[in-house]
Structure 1
């Protein structure tokens, strides 16, 4: 475990590439079926409920104040997408591909991104408690001021992933290599993690003391 004494350099995340004009769409009227494609639309102030579809493509879209209720979109592909103030709690995005996607001020409690592939994804001021990222492959992913209490990163692959001012208490990282991952700006009292997983992880001096308690070590003065 490496100690952190300097402020981390912000991670560079590619932003979604959106055209200046997007056509409004009401997805609840359109319907979402297997292998449906939606390109260059903006979806706002609606509720999408009772949807189950596989391999749906969303490309160059924005979602504003959209609530997803009992929605399963497994194997979806999301490219150049912005979610603002949306409720995606318990949405099933397992095995999805996300590229240049932003979640801003969203409710993501229990969202399922198991075995998903995330590239250039930003979570900003989101509520992501109980979120599932197990077996996910994540590269260039930023969590900013986001709660991830009891979230699940079991056996995930993390590369250039940052957690800045995040709450990650009781998050599960077992089987996930944390070498080069900076946890020094996170808040937690306990983590599901092994000493082997922590090799090369960046932590603060206060967290080093906390880990001695987590692993039942005794420091003798």
Structure 2
């Protein structure tokens, strides 16, 4: 899938302390942890590169992301609900329990991430690529998918009901125990082995 990558041409290395002085997170590169607890509210991260950051001491509230890359960061249980993410990359990140409910995601990459229990319910996903990512027991309930690709991704026990899509391809994914309904199955692209897992939803028994 062709995604528009984050524009990070003019970033400068800095620290959380420097950014907090002006409460401005724009065109920056941070690769060291912030040891104290802090809350960041109603901000936009624009043109940012975060590397090796543990966000467990940082509470993100109402944060929009534009041209942002997170590499080897822990964003577990963070809340990106009702926000806007454009040209964002999550690489080698921990996203356990992270929520993106009713969020607009455009040109977003999830690569080699741990996203178990993450939640994308009622979100809009346009040009979104999940690659080698663990989405076990994640929720995509009522999610609107437009140009979304899933490659070698675990959807085990994932909730995929009331899904809005046109030909979503899950043929390279693990879907054991995933929850589908008839709406979500329509036009879904699967492989021969997955058909056995899904045929029971149609009330058909294989003898």
Q: Same fold (TM over 0.5)?
A: yes
* In structure 2, C-alpha distance between the alignment counterparts of 1:173 and 1:27, rounded to whole Å: 38
CA contact (8 A) 2:161 2:183 kept: no
Q: How does 1:64-213 map to 2 (within 5 A)?
A: 64-69=51-56, 71-213=58-200
CA contact (8 A) 1:128 1:146 kept: yes
Unmatched runs of 5 consecutive residues or more in structure 1? 1-10
Query: Which of the residues 20, 27, 39 maps onto 1:31?
Result: 20
Unmatched runs of 5 consecutive residues or more in structure 2? none
| 1:178 partner SS | coil
| 2:193 partner SS | helix
Query: Which one scores higher on RCO, CA 8 angstroms, separation ≥ 6?
Result: 1
TM-score normalised per structure 2: 0.92
CA contact (8 A) 2:163 2:183 kept: no
Against the structure 1 CA distance between its residues 32 and 112, is the aligned structure 2 distance closer, same or farther, given a 3 Å change threshold? farther
Task: Spell out, residue by residue over 1:36-90, the C-alpha distance to the aligned partner (whole angstroms, 9 max, x if none).
Answer: 5411000112147644343211111100001111544343211111111000011
CA contact (8 A) 2:65 2:85 kept: yes
TM-score normalised per structure 1: 0.86
Give the alignment's Cα RMSD to 1 decimal. Answer: 2.0
Against the structure 1 CA distance between its residues 114 and 159, is the aligned structure 2 distance closer, same or farther, given a 3 Å change threshold? same
* In structure 2, C-alpha distance between the alignment counterparts of 1:13 and 1:109, rounded to whole Å: 24
Query: Which of the residues 8, 14, 21 maps onto 2:4?
Result: 14
1:44: which partner in 2? 31
Q: Please identify, of 179-188 and 206-215, the stretch whose mean Cα deviation from structure 2 is larger.
A: 206-215
Instruction: Tell me the CA shift for residue 212 of structure 1.
Output: 1.5
| 2:80 partner SS | coil
